[in-house]
Structure 1
Amino acid sequence: MPYSKLDTSACPVPSWLPSGHIQTIHASLFARHHRIAFVRDRVDTPDKDFVDFDWAGPGLFPHKPPAGPHAEPAQLQAGASAAARWIAPGDWQALPQEPGAPALILFHGLEGSSGSNYAQSIAAHFRSRGWVVVVAHFRGCSGTPNRLARAYHSGDTTDIAFMLDTVRRRLPRGRWHAVGVSLGGNALLKFLGEQAHETGWLTACAGVSVPLDLVAGGAALSRGFVERQIYTRHFLRTMRRKMLEKAERYPGVIDVMRIAHARDLHDFDDTYTAPMHGFRNALDYWERASSKPWLSSVCVPTLVLNARNDPFLPPASLPTPEQCSERVLLHQPEQGGHAGFVVGRFPGNLQWLPERLGRFFETGA
């Protein structure tokens, strides 16, 4: 059986960012990147919830609706990710309609959105090169609470399939690519292996800073001062707020006391994520939702990019070529942090990651 290839070439992280923690935190707070606005499309799901898609591309002008009569839903809430307005019927005709027009769907990470720094840098890079770019928001991550008691999780391939099918129907003649970052990358990679027979229409895909082994990743985020006091507290702050809002709408469904006292992601997943989404407990969820076991079944050309100093996943848990199909390219630079990959002079920029993705999409290497 042919195995995948392993690329260990460096991401040229500057010497003034000496560790994975510093690289991760600096990328999320201080590194420079271009910012763009999006046009939002809300699509109802089969279970009567909704998913928000933020679109950018040639012919779309987020701060100016298309000419002609159109009906817009209510105004977007202030600060709802990076969307400037709702999409109008005329916007679909404005997008490139020729066969093979390049298009990219991006799945964000835990509690991310189209406003996240990595999403902005990737979207701006490809949009400036004439691509259609759409950020698919997991339920409850677009700035508006979703309708159901459930939310999203790392292994929700059903929602990944729905979102991929939606953008394909919106732009059926496009040459589609998919990128998932962190949690979104895990769900995407799991889908690519689990439902490989449904992926032939995709040109190429990539997973960035993916916690491929959720058990190892969860353990890593539960130990150490930085992991618990910075990363975990950051995630739990917004996740707790969302759960308290849900508890008001669905009394008795969510254990508010346990959520309030959750110390780490294991406690949160054990209390809410696992039982709400059909798992026995946090460990069962992490084991069954991990994407690493599915890499051997991937059939579409796929880049799996993980820095070896990513604080969210120990290097010993990274996949080896023998664990992946020949369609997978593993890239494991020594430096980069988690969804960081900062390069350049102070304060640095985030251009290396989108350029790396672009090179893979163009050359397969």
Structure 2
Amino acid sequence: MARSIVPATFCAARGLGNRHVQTLLPRLRPLAALERDVEILDLPDGDFVELAWVRPAPLADDAPLFVLFHGLEGSFDSPYARDLLGMASRLGWRALLMHYRGCGQAPNRLPRAYHSGDTADAYWLIGQLALRYPRATKVAAGVSLGGNMLAKLVAEQGGDGLDLAGAIVISAPLDLAASADALNSGFARFYQRHLLKTLRAKIAAKMASGPLPINLAASQLERLDSFWAYDNEVTAPLHGFTSASDYYHRASAGRLLGDIELPMLILHADDDPFMPSDLFSRLPMASDAVRIEVARQGGHAGFIETRGGRLHPWLVDRVGRQLRDWASLPTPARSATSRS
């Protein structure tokens, strides 16, 4: 099946095209004001995730539903989350964000955390949404880590395994080993240091409150200064992988792009500092269900243009257009077709 890769319509304004400028610009804009209701969703293993529901919500039970999965150490307060959730709400969608374990307002209950290939919690949530809103068209989107996780979930579940009309994957590290290498080079180490600082702090708190299935002292934890080191010593043993290499291989969604049957839009920038510029040449051919739009510039989850003299998130327009296209599509759970 042919891979569908086309140029994205994004064009950075003059002087704003640098990959790091694009990556950091969203944090220079005022955070979009958005009200939320918080729900604690209990999980089958005794843990929980925190849901942020945008308020006000549509009154009709069959209003379309947009669920967003954030990136590594992201939250409802991530600029892209506020932008995308606010846009969906303005279009009349019921909008929510799922915080991964420990990324909400309280630490999670179990020793384990979350990782790039951890699809079980998202699968549980989508199943619960199908029970609550059986007549609503549903679309999921994932940014960065959340995009890799969502692509992997869709590939695992096939065309009718999820109550979704489509999925949107944004700036996803579809080859985790290649992304770990990219983040350990040049200025990208700045992002690596920032993310590892928050990850180490969470694990240090867990280590102080009780034993963990990792062979690591607190002093050794502080010396883990790359994702390869951190994932080898923490992520892998916490979540049942033998090593960072094993984790990266099994959790990367890129190798599964040919298995995707649900309509999927992938948005990517060639200059994303979180991954190599030749990302898609490293991956197998995607299925016909996948449309890949690649911008020459955009950084990591940036895609900031100017409009009326102000910074404007292009992602809001592109994702909004996709939501309009999919708003009336039947979801697999409500269609007459099934996998053979």
Is the TM value for this pair above 0.5? yes
Query: Does structure 2 conserve the Cα–Cα contact (< 8 Å) formed by 1:343 and 1:349?
Result: yes
Aligned to 1:340, which of 288, 302, 305? 302
The verdict on how the C-alpha distance between 1:312 and 1:252 changes in structure 2, with shifts beyond 3 A counting, is: closer
Q: For the residues of structure 2 that align with 1:203 and 1:197, how far apart are their CA atoms?
A: 10
**Number of the residue aligned with 1:120:** 82
The verdict on how the C-alpha distance between 1:268 and 1:347 changes in structure 2, with shifts beyond 3 A counting, is: farther
Q: For the residues of structure 2 that align with 1:124 and 1:246, how far apart are their CA atoms?
A: 34
**Number of the residue aligned with 1:96:** 60
**Number of the residue aligned with 1:21:** 20
Is the counterpart of residue 37 in structure 1 residue 1 in structure 2? no
**Number of the residue aligned with 1:63:** none
Query: Does structure 2 conserve the Cα–Cα contact (< 8 Å) formed by 1:107 and 1:136?
Result: yes
**Number of the residue aligned with 2:188:** 227
Q: Secondary structure at the match of 2:202?
A: helix
1:151-209 deviation line (CA, Å, top 9, x unaligned): 00000111221121122223222110000000011000001112215535311111000
Aligned to 2:176, which of 195, 214, 219? 214
TM score, norm. by length of structure 1 = 0.84
Q: For the residues of structure 2 that align with 1:112 and 1:198, how far apart are their CA atoms?
A: 29
TM score, norm. by length of structure 2 = 0.90
1:87-107 deviation line (CA, Å, top 9, x unaligned): xxxxxxx74213xx2110000
Range that drifts further, 250-259 or 38-47: 250-259
CA shift, 1:363, in A, is 3.4
After TM superposition, the runs of 4+ consecutive aligned structure 1 residues lying more than 6 A away are none
Q: For the residues of structure 1 that align with 2:281 and 2:114, how far apart are their CA atoms?
A: 25
Correspondences of 1:236-315 after superposition (within 5 Å): 236-251=196-211, 253-254=213-214, 255=216, 256-315=218-277
The verdict on how the C-alpha distance between 1:128 and 1:362 changes in structure 2, with shifts beyond 3 A counting, is: closer
Q: For the residues of structure 2 that align with 1:322 and 1:213, how far apart are their CA atoms?
A: 11
Could you say what the CA RMSD is over the residues aligned between the two structures, in angstroms? 1.9
Q: For the residues of structure 2 that align with 1:348 and 1:32, how far apart are their CA atoms?
A: 10
CA shift, 1:43, in A, is 1.2
Q: For the residues of structure 1 that align with 2:284 and 2:212, how far apart are their CA atoms?
A: 47
Correspondences of 1:322-333 after superposition (within 5 Å): 323-333=285-295
Q: For the residues of structure 1 that align with 2:222 and 2:39, how far apart are their CA atoms?
A: 33
Q: Secondary structure at the match of 1:222?
A: coil
- Aligned pair count? 323
CA shift, 1:33, in A, is 5.5
**Number of the residue aligned with 2:6:** 7
**Number of the residue aligned with 2:335:** none
Question: Letter of the aligned partner of 2:254 in structure 1?
Answer: K
Q: For the residues of structure 2 that align with 1:241 and 1:321, how far apart are their CA atoms?
A: 34
Gaps of 5+ in 2: 327-340
Q: For the residues of structure 1 that align with 2:21 and 2:226, how far apart are their CA atoms?
A: 21
Q: For the residues of structure 1 that align with 2:105 and 2:160, how far apart are their CA atoms?
A: 30
**Number of the residue aligned with 1:190:** 152
**Number of the residue aligned with 2:139:** 177
Q: Secondary structure at the match of 1:212?
A: coil
Q: For the residues of structure 1 that align with 2:183 and 2:143, how far apart are their CA atoms?
A: 17
Query: Does structure 2 conserve the Cα–Cα contact (< 8 Å) formed by 1:31 and 1:342?
Result: no
Q: Secondary structure at the match of 1:280?
A: coil
Q: For the residues of structure 2 that align with 1:353 and 1:214, how far apart are their CA atoms?
A: 23
The verdict on how the C-alpha distance between 1:197 and 1:5 changes in structure 2, with shifts beyond 3 A counting, is: closer
Q: For the residues of structure 1 that align with 2:221 and 2:169, how far apart are their CA atoms?
A: 30
**Number of the residue aligned with 1:82:** none
CA shift, 1:243, in A, is 0.6
1:318-360 deviation line (CA, Å, top 9, x unaligned): 258971010100000101110000011565122x102111222
The verdict on how the C-alpha distance between 1:15 and 1:260 changes in structure 2, with shifts beyond 3 A counting, is: same
Query: Does structure 1 conserve the Cα–Cα contact (< 8 Å) formed by 2:75 and 2:99?
Result: yes
Question: Letter of the aligned partner of 2:53 in structure 1?
Answer: W
Range that drifts further, 269-278 or 157-166: 157-166
**Number of the residue aligned with 1:146:** 108
Q: For the residues of structure 2 that align with 1:323 and 1:52, how far apart are their CA atoms?
A: 35
Q: For the residues of structure 1 that align with 2:126 and 2:3, how far apart are their CA atoms?
A: 25
Q: For the residues of structure 2 that align with 1:41 and 1:246, how far apart are their CA atoms?
A: 23
The verdict on how the C-alpha distance between 1:320 and 1:243 changes in structure 2, with shifts beyond 3 A counting, is: closer
Q: For the residues of structure 2 that align with 1:208 and 1:222, how far apart are their CA atoms?
A: 21
**Number of the residue aligned with 2:334:** none
Question: Letter of the aligned partner of 1:96 in structure 2?
Answer: A
CA shift, 1:35, in A, is 2.2
Is the counterpart of residue 316 in structure 1 residue 278 in structure 2? yes
Query: Does structure 2 conserve the Cα–Cα contact (< 8 Å) formed by 1:32 and 1:348?
Result: no
The verdict on how the C-alpha distance between 1:15 and 1:33 changes in structure 2, with shifts beyond 3 A counting, is: farther
**Number of the residue aligned with 2:312:** 349
Query: Does structure 1 conserve the Cα–Cα contact (< 8 Å) formed by 2:258 and 2:287?
Result: yes
Aligned to 1:162, which of 124, 128, 139? 124
The verdict on how the C-alpha distance between 1:322 and 1:240 changes in structure 2, with shifts beyond 3 A counting, is: closer
The verdict on how the C-alpha distance between 1:252 and 1:206 changes in structure 2, with shifts beyond 3 A counting, is: closer
